[in-house]
DNA sequence: GTAACGCTGTGACTGTTTTCACGGCTTAAT
DNA sequence: ATTAAGCCGTGAAAACAGTCACAGCGTTAC
């Protein structure tokens, strides 16, 4: 049976993504190689963790040059990225939606927001920061045409479930939900709830009680 | 020695925060009690997980009424919340900053954004959605006066480290960084990097390859 | 009464994630 | 050559997180 690439754990995928962006955006200029130790310091994890994670990419470093940045980035990309560009839809062109468009326009990445949707007539049928905004009624059509399979939900809480239903209907396969209302979607849809309250309450909790504990966490 | 409350693991703190907001905002009306099972379904975790997490709060449910919502919320709050309201500063009043202010104004919560800061003169010395915006130069003063110990960084990447330094200087103890540049802060500051690229790349990765795997993840 | 039910709290277990530690390789220096 | 150094890859161990399964206990039904 196929089983070609053997699925990589969630945690590792997250860190690979982190490593790549550190290598691309924050590696010192004119350095072509680095050691597990260096990447570990940047990512705030242990060197052993880095080496172990990189095992999953298949990339093999050299014992005393370390990892060649370009090659390693390529290797991580071969795992994380769609061979073609990964098309993403954004639902909700409010303050948050616009910040997100900005954010992704600003970074080179395989992820590409190719369409935004809103139900407010005054926000659609125009270009927002380089991304075309459509009325939500065209969701199905555009998702199909643009081969979109991932969506970001940035609408008010009370509209989120309705939007999610439409996304599922339209054939979306993964959803990042930023609204505070948790969504119900079928089993086979990959859903991440990213509620800021939770993150901030964690920060506040540990800030309050750790005077000397080590902190820092990537999420 | 003190050791009064025995520190609760990171993961559990996150779920407690989730449970609370589910109980407060999404519990069916006119229901006073529920079972571990019910909360589990809402939070997308197992019932055993809920029961185990609640052990850390000290709250004891009754075998056949289950948990009294009001009491349980109180109990979680006693763990997560500062006895007084937890004052938070927001740095960067752009699109993202404004979305965040909206977000926290809209939810009852112990977390309270009491001041926003920006270095753009046209954005400060006015009230944004109910929150006073100050020039960044007043950071130290306001942080002290308002007893702020947690901050959200929502400035462009190239300004983030500078802002972080000022926050540490001003006495902040926990930072939620939304800018794409990872920060360096002293050991005793609790830092969470919340980079959207990582979340979205995870979603895209698993969306692409899971036709039948179960999804859903809270972060 | 008392039997049956169904839920909680928790010890024991299982599975996953992280760290440890060391063999092997590659280079540079003597 | 030979040695020394230092990093990589990985098996084994440790730590951590989550699940199972069951005793114990109110409640209800008879
Ligand atoms: N998780 C986080 O970090 C975070 C942070 C801030 C805000 N939020 C949440 O993100 C959401 C958006 O925040 P915002 O500040 O941009 O709000 P906003 O009101 O500025 O924008 C919401 C947009 O959604 C559109 N909309 C409403 N109903 C719709 C529907 N049924 N279909 C399509 N579009 C619809 C509105 O027209 C508006 O343009 C809110 O739910 C907010 O709570 C999350
Ligand atoms: N993690 C996420 O989910 C996420 C999502 C979207 C955007 N972002 C990031 O958040 C940041 C803000 O995004 P935005 O869309 O609001 O950008 P923006 O340009 O609209 O706003 C940035 C604000 O920061 C202010 N600022 C700049 N330098 C400053 C300084 N030294 N001190 C104080 N204030 C300063 C600017 O005046 C501006 O008001 C960016 O770094 C962006 O990449 C993160």
Residue B214 makes CB contacts below 8 A (sequence gap 6+) with: A187
pLDDT value of position B3: 40
Of B126, B118, B89, B92, nearest to B104 by C-alpha is B89
Identify the three-state secondary structure at position B192. Answer: strand
- Ligand found nearest the CA of A153: 1
Question: Ligand 1: residues within 6 Å at CB?
Answer: A 91-97, 117-120, 123, 136, 154-157, 159, 162-163, 178-180, 194-196; B 99-100, 102-103
Domains and CATH numbers, chain A: 10-80 (1.10.10.10), 86-198 (3.40.50.720)
pLDDT tens per residue across span B51-109: 999 999 999 999 889 999 999 999 999 999 988 889 999 999 999 999 999 999 988 88
Other beta carbons within 10 angstroms of residue B137's beta carbon come to 11
How far away, in angstroms, is A144 Cα from ligand 2 center? 33
Count CB-CB contacts under 10 A for residue A106.
12
Q: Using a CB-CB distance cutoff of 8 angstroms, which residues of chain A are in contact with residue B188?
A: 210-213, 215
Please give the angle made by the CA atoms of A174, A180 and A183, to the nearest 5 degrees: 40
* Angle between helix A69-80 and B196-209 (nearest 10): 50
Q: Kindly indicate the confidence band of residue A6, based on its pLDDT and cuts at 50, 70 and 90.
A: low
A194 near A154, Cβ under 8 Å? no
Count how many residues are written for chain B.
219
For chain B, the average pLDDT equals: 92
Mean pLDDT of A188-192: 93
Give the distance (Å) from ligand 2 centre to CA of residue A134: 26
pLDDT of B180 > 50? The answer is yes
Say yes or no to pLDDT of B38 above 50: yes
**Does the pLDDT at position A199 exceed 60?**
yes
Atom of ligand 1 nearest to the CA of A97: 16
Tell me, what's the pLDDT at A84? 85
- Counting residues of chain A whose pLDDT is more than 70, the rounded percentage is 95
Footprint of strand C on the protein (CB under 7 A): A 9-12, 45-46, 48-49, 51-52, 62-65; B 35-37, 47-48, 51-52, 54-55, 59-64, 66-67
Looking at residue B107, its pLDDT comes to 83
Q: Which of B155, B166, B178, B192 most suits a substitution to test ligand 2, by most atoms within 8 Å of the C-beta?
A: B155
pLDDT given at position B132:
97
Q: Do A198 and B21 touch (CB under 8 A)?
A: yes
Residue B116 backbone phi and psi in degrees, to 5? -120, 155
pLDDT at B115: 98
The ligand 2 atom nearest the CA atom of A98: 15
Instruction: Return chain B residues 10..29 having CB < 7 Å to nucleic acid strand D.
Output: 10-12
Instruction: Tell me what pLDDT residue B212 has.
Output: 47
Please state which of the ranges A29-33, B108-112, B207-211 shows the lowest mean pLDDT.
B207-211
Restricting to B residues 95-124, those with a Cβ less than 8 Å away from any Cβ of A are: 95-96, 98-100, 102-104, 107, 109-111
Each residue of A111-157: pLDDT tens digit?
999 999 999 999 999 999 999 999 999 999 999 999 999 999 999 99
Separation in Å, CA B162 to CA A123, A207, B92, B168:
35, 20, 12, 10
The pLDDT tens digits for A72-83 are 999 999 999 988
Coil vs helix vs strand at A160? helix
Q: Is A189 on the interface with B (CB under 8 A)?
A: yes
Q: Shortest CA distance to A20 belongs to which of A150, A102, A109, A100?
A: A109
Kindly indicate the confidence band of residue B4, based on its pLDDT and cuts at 50, 70 and 90: very low
Strand C nucleotides where any atom sits below 7 Å of a protein CB: 5-11, 16-21, 24-27
Q: Which of B16, B12, B14, B39 is CA-nearest to residue B27?
A: B39
Instruction: Give one word for B9, left, alpha or beta, with left for phi > 0 and alpha for psi -120 to 50.
Output: beta
Ligand closest in space to the Cα of A178: 1
């Amino acid at each position: 049976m196929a089983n070609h690439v053997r699925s990589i754990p969630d945690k590792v995928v997250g860190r690979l993504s982190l490593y790549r962006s550190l290598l691309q955006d924050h590696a010192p200029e004119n350095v072509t190689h680095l050691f597990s130790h260096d990447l570990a310091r940047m990512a705030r994890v242990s060197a052993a963790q880095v080496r172990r994670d990189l095992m999953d990419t298949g990339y093999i470093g050299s014992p005393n040059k370390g990892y060649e940045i370009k090659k390693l980035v390529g290797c991580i990309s071969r795992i994380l990225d769609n061979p073609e560009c990964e098309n993403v839809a954004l639902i909700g062109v409010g303050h948050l939606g616009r910040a997100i468009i900005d954010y992704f326009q600003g970074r080179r990445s395989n992820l590409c927001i190719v369409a935004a949707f809103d139900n407010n007539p005054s926000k659609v049928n125009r270009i927002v920061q380089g991304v075309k905004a459509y009325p939500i009624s065209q969701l199905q059509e555009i998702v199909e045409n643009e081969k979109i399979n991932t969506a970001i939900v940035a609408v008010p809480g009370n509209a989120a479930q309705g939007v999610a239903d439409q996304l599922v209907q339209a054939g979306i396969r993964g959803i990042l939900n930023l609204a505070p209302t948790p969504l119900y979607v079928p089993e086979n849809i990959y859903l991440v709830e990213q509620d800021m309250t939770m993150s901030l309450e964690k920060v506040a909790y540990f800030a309050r009680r750790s005077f000397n504990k080590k902190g820092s966490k990537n999420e």
